[in-house]
Chains A and B, each alone.
Chain A
Amino acid sequence: MTDLTNLTVAQIRDGHRAGDFSAVEVAEAFSANVAAAKALNAFIVETPEHALAAAKQADADRSAGSLKPLSGVPIGMKDLFATNGVQTTAASHMLEGFVPRYESTVSQKLWDAGAGMLGKLNLDQFAMGSSNETSYFGNVISPWKRNDGGNAALAPGGSSGGSSSAIAARLCPAATGTDTGGSIRQPAAFVGISGIKPTYGRCSRWGIVAFASSLDQAGPMARDVRDCAIMLENMAGFDPKDATSLNMAVPNWEAALSSDLKGKKVGIPKEYRLEGIDPEIDAMWDAGIAMLKDAGAEVVEISLPHTKYALPTYYIIAPAEASSNLARYDGVRYGLRDLPEKAGLQDMYAATRADGFGPEVKRRIMIGTYVLSAGFYDAYYTQAQKVRTLIARDFEQAFGVCDVILAPTAPSAAFGLGEKTADPLSMYLNDVFAVPASLAGLPAMSVPAALNREGLPLGLQIIGKAFDEQGVLNAGLAIEQRAGFTARAEKWW
């Protein structure tokens, strides 16, 4: 019998429907992989019983002829989504032991669609990081190794590093991620999988621990484009509990998948050609351009003139919102409470927050507090909002002459754990290609395109018009079919 954990979401769904295997078999196979992969530290909590219960239901539904879109598919849930009765930590000490009595809208939709939960996936603390090294529960390790014979542990990317590592290591066929400034796309690129951040507002933010509200957006990560489409269909949808939710019907993205790009124009932003960048990144990009041409698309050069301001803008707006969003973690109602002897309220706040937040979270709270302070607000926050508008306008103008934009996902392949932790700025630079689409609220995805000379995956990014996830997925599919990326990490864990 084939190893069920090598199957994609579509293959599991179809095979289960056809009676090739039971959902219980699938759940057990993946749960066994999860249990055997402690070395990757991808999961904070394992929930094989949840996956099994959903699988039993799926098998019963099959007998009853009432299968659901994700019946029989077990998935991983980023530990930023509140899950009823299951610890939800945002990978922080602050929320260690916090068990919500509510279910996030996105996770509820997935369970309603028949999916089961293998566990809660590790991430950068409060989704702040690009390497998963800020987790209170220890860094996730990428299943990938360089081909240099060394044994350096590599970063799985971040913040959705548990999700990327688990999918690449076949611990789950798909997982949820969230993307505030590249947190789905960059980790997907680092481990050779696909991931899409939909248009801001497609997926409800209700029940997702907030990082930066105007940027946070949930999306799926999976092995291929089709699986991303299937997952996204079952995550997206209007939610009256989220005032920023898009009140639009969810398209049938999977059914409309097409890699025929005849008549489509692909924009290549000249500002994304960074000086001093790894030539392999540019080479991969050029190869991607050739693939899309091959799929029938016309390639046009475009200009996104405010690109160079995107990263600083992001690092003002995101921390500003975070500094306020994280104020609720005060030790009064839930989570960590550190009450020193004879402490007053202020002392309790200080002790709790000093102990409960990691250094990166504190850094961003400090930055955010600073840029919102009287006397600095206009120079930083107001200015950043203006630039954000200009960045969005860049895209609007570009989409006057093209349908999708092709760019690298990240400026490098996965780096080694610890390589960038001492220099936050170089860490932030990892998201230089990802952040502009986040600021503009546009759909963007990463698909694996090639291996570099070290044998590590590189990803290509497709950015689309607002609400045009279909265009993004289709271009992604065209690359996927031509790149023929089948490489996978050799099992060492």
Chain B
Amino acid sequence: MTEASYRIKGETGEWEVVIGLEVHAQVTSNAKLFSGAATAFGAEPNTQVSLVDAAMPGMLPVPNRECIRQAVRTGMAIDAHINTWSRFDRKNYFYADLPQGYQISQLYHPLVGEGSLTIEADEKAGLPEAKRIGIERIHVEQDAGKLMHDQHPTMSYVDLNRSGVALMEIVSRPDMRSPAEAGAYVRKLRSILRYVGSCDGNMEEGSMRADVNVSVRKPGDEFGTRTETKNVNSVRFVMAVIEGEAKRQVELIESGGTVVQETRLYDPDRNETRSMRSKEDAHDYRYFPDPDLLPLELDDAFLAECRDSLPELPDAKRARYLAAGISAYNADVLTAEVESALWFDTLLETGAKPAAAANWVSSELFGALNRLGKSFEDCPVTPAQAGELLGLVADGTISGTIAKQVFEKMLESGDAAGVIVERDGLKQTSDTGAIEAEIAKILTANADKVEQYRGGKEALFGFFVGQTMKAMQGKANPQVVNELLKKALG
């Protein structure tokens, strides 16, 4: 156990939190898992419902190849075992948002078996070292519809647009030990899904949500009894649920109570969970193989296509950036979102120097996007334009300081860096005559400081550099300035 281990301090000592997550990720596909209906978010209620989704008499499910493909690709992206033989099961229960009276899921033979992902070290976030989190399985299942209780005084409205949409349920091992680890896991998983393109990762729209399993124990003890908090829809909430639920369990146990295995709901407004139902009154779902569907058998050609279609994934990309001399911090920032990573890769293709380009993107470009409320998807400069700018810095045409000005002007005018530098006369100068003239003026005006410098106060050198650069309006080549100053101050 390292010093940084997350512990709850109770009256009877320290407690360890054990966390497992079941993430439901909506599969990106044009059609639902077993019907041809469309899946667009935000459509008018009940406009994306086929006869199959409404469970009309005699309707039958037919698996959507693209949904299966996306789940397989996701499995491959977490280095998971792909089960070439899997099967769909029915989970039976009655609810108004479940037209069939059962959800088609995969209990006994999931599509994807054991895999894992790695969360990176992040000291500031309380993650002293990288950690591998096991993923037990990914199975494919249907989403339910949506009930709206606020549309009518005595009735509930049902919107079946989401009914039958394909979900991947990604089940982790109980490998996480702190809210920070869980948060990092969800972020990393979301990143992978978005790289793969199998889920848009949009938690606000509900296309990714987590069931959070939490238990507590004294370090080294057996696992405690867990509770499951359903449908948590942001990383922040996942972390809040864990913190609150672990604390609640510790207090409960220490005051003589016992944790009961139950399903809980999170109320973000009050930041607390409350009991939904206990194990005793849990449904008996009567799972059995769906007789409308044959077992799913994947052939080699299908698997090969899935594998070949995978993009470079975050871990590989990060390793490549590190090898190119990019700092770990920048590599993390750049690879977290697929859009920034792809943008950056295109920038590298223009010949930009990796380390310098990474610095520029993570400071200048991220800053500008933040300020403008934009993202890499509607980035106001193209990688080619940025490449030109960085090229001007690299070949000494402009200094880093001037580059900031040029970038601002690029954002304002949309003009190319070269055009701006030329038009506004921002080229860096190595004209020793002009620089020497300015240096002479500065030394004359600051005779006292010259005296001090020569008397041994060498730190004043920076002052002279600054004055010279200022006088040259930032356009002087810093190396030339240094050399000439050293000569003049002798």
What residues of chain A have their CB less than 8 Å away from a CB belonging to chain B?
81-82, 88, 90, 95, 98, 100, 102, 104, 205-210, 212-214, 240-244, 320-321, 323-324, 326-328, 330, 332-334, 345-346, 349, 369, 372-374, 377, 381
Contact = CB atoms under 8 A, between A and B. Distances in A.
Interface in B128-161: 156, 158
Given A100-B56, A320-B288, A323-B92, 9 more contacts: A205-B60, A209-B57, A210-B58, A210-B292, A241-B60, A243-B63, A332-B158, A372-B286, A381-B288
Interface of B: 51, 54-63, 90, 92, 94-96, 99-102, 156, 158, 284, 286-288, 290-294
A81 B58 CA distance: 8
Contacts of B286: 323-324, 369, 372-374, 377
B58 A82 contact: yes
Task: Give the secondary structure class of B's interface.
Answer: loop
B291 A212 contact: yes
B101 A330 contact: yes
A204 to B, nearest CB: 9
A327 B95 CA distance: 10
A332 B90 contact: no
B62 A324 contact: no
Given A88-B57, A208-B58, A327-B100, A244 B94 contact: no
Given A102-B51, A324-B102, A332-B158, A372 B58 contact: no
Contacts of B59: 206-207
Contact of A321 (B51, B284, B291): B291
A102 B35 CA distance: 15
Contact of B58 (A206, A320, A321, A330): A206
A95 B57 CA distance: 9
Given A95-B57, A320-B288, A328-B101, A345 B62 contact: no
A328 B59 CA distance: 11
Contacts of B51: 102
Q: Counting chain B CB atoms within 10 Å of each CB, which of A102, A241, A321, A327 scores highest?
A: A327
B294 A328 contact: no
Given A244-B294, A328-B99, A209 B58 contact: yes
20 contacts: A100-B57, A102-B51, A206-B59, A206-B60, A207-B59, A209-B57, A210-B58, A212-B291, A213-B291, A241-B62, A244-B291, A320-B288, A323-B286, A324-B92, A327-B100, A330-B96, A345-B156, A346-B94, A372-B288, A377-B286
The 7 closest A-B pairs by CB, nearest first: A327-B101, A213-B291, A372-B286, A214-B291, A328-B55, A207-B58, A209-B57
Nearest to B286: A372
Nearest to B290: A213
Contacts of A345: 95-96, 156
Contacts of A328: 55, 57, 99-101
A323 B101 CA distance: 10
Contact of B292 (A90, A102, A244): A244
A374 B284 contact: yes
B295 to A, nearest CB: 11
Contacts of A326: 101
